[in-house]
Amino acid sequence: MEIKGKNVLITGASRGIGRYIAYAIARQGGNVALLALPSDLRRLQNLEAKLTKFNVTTKSFTADLSDSQQISDVTREISDKFGMIDILVNNAAIESVGVFRHQTGQVIEKTIAVNLLAPILITKKLLPYMLLKKSGHIVVISSFAGKLGSPYQSVYSATKAGLIKWALGMKRELRGSGVSFSAISPGYVSNAGMYADMLNKAEDKLKTPKIVGAVTPQKVANEVIFSILKDRSDKNVGSPLLACVAILNELAPDLVSYLLHLFKIPQYNNKLALVQSGLFQDN
């Protein structure tokens, strides 16, 4: 699907990967509706001003995506004030890292609401117009954690795995309708976003395991563009090793569990959980 001249909604657009995606869409000539939390309105407006150099229409909107009523209200507002949406990029997410037994029910519910339920509800609101036009594309930003089942990210992994299977199921359901779906699954993302924020909290005392590596937010944004233009279903973004591990995980999960412990991935994620909770100490 072409992007130039299309109206594109990006959730979680105020920071991290979302900002990179917004720039990538604007460079392609797409009009950009930016959506984030009300507390991030100034960030959105600053980004909106910067995107005008691409001679596209941009507008900022705010909502708490854990609230279904706010989702309903903001999608209506976007349609009224910006225009009907042709392409949706579901990027907003909560990175829930921690020891499961220590996580509160509130954190678990909000993670599921924002990461999984919100993309489904937003799509449900916007899909009728796309089907009427027989043209549209929905992208979900998942994670390699959704392919793997990542220790100390069990709830987060569950939401991201759900996104992948939901997008694939919808793509198959709507085959021939003109509306398609793509899932993008990055590994650890450097320089911007939730993972980069955790590394900053650790004051450079943590290093991404070499076997996993890290991917730049620009590369993730580029894959979003390619997935829309080329109608890709499911794309891993990271080292080729990640794709092999994802396949192996489907065939031999116990072997992958052994390999993860061998390369100390659970231990690393435990340190990330401690960083998130403010308890990390470098030994």
What does pLDDT average to over the chain? 89
Beta-strand ranges (E) seen in 149-276 are 179-186, 188-189, 214-215, 234-237
pLDDT, tens digit, 9 for 90 and up, residues 201-232: 544 555 666 556 678 999 999 999 999 999 99
Beta-strand ranges (E) seen in 43-169 are 58-62, 87-90, 136-141
Architecture label for domain 7-277: 3-Layer(aba) Sandwich (3.40)
The reported pLDDT for the residue numbered 208 is 60
pLDDT, tens digit, 9 for 90 and up, residues 140-164: 999 989 999 988 899 999 999 999 9
Q: Which residues are catalytic?
A: 156
What radius of gyration, in Å, describes the C-alpha atoms of the chain?
18
> What is the Cα–Cα distance from 71 to 67, expressed in whole angstroms?
6
Q: At residue 177, what are phi and psi to the nearest 5 degrees? A: -85, -15
pLDDT above 50 for 279:
no
Residue 142 makes CB contacts below 8 A (sequence gap 6+) with 160, 161, 163, 164, 167, 183, 184, 185
Cβ–Cβ < 8 Å for 75, 1: no
Burial code (b: 16+ CB inside 10 Å, e: under 16) for 196-210 equals: bebbeebeeebeebe
pLDDT above 60 for 195:
no
The reported pLDDT for the residue numbered 246 is 86
pLDDT above 60 for 197:
no
**How would you classify the pairing of strands 58-62 and 87-90?**
unpaired
Question: What average pLDDT does range 109-121 have in this prediction?
Answer: 97
The reported pLDDT for the residue numbered 283 is 46
Q: Hey, what amino acid is at 205?
A: K
Which range, of 51-60, 88-97, 220-229, 237-246, averages the lowest pLDDT? 237-246
Enumerate the domain spans of the chain.
7-277
> What is the Cα–Cα distance from 187 to 216, expressed in whole angstroms?
10
The reported pLDDT for the residue numbered 213 is 61
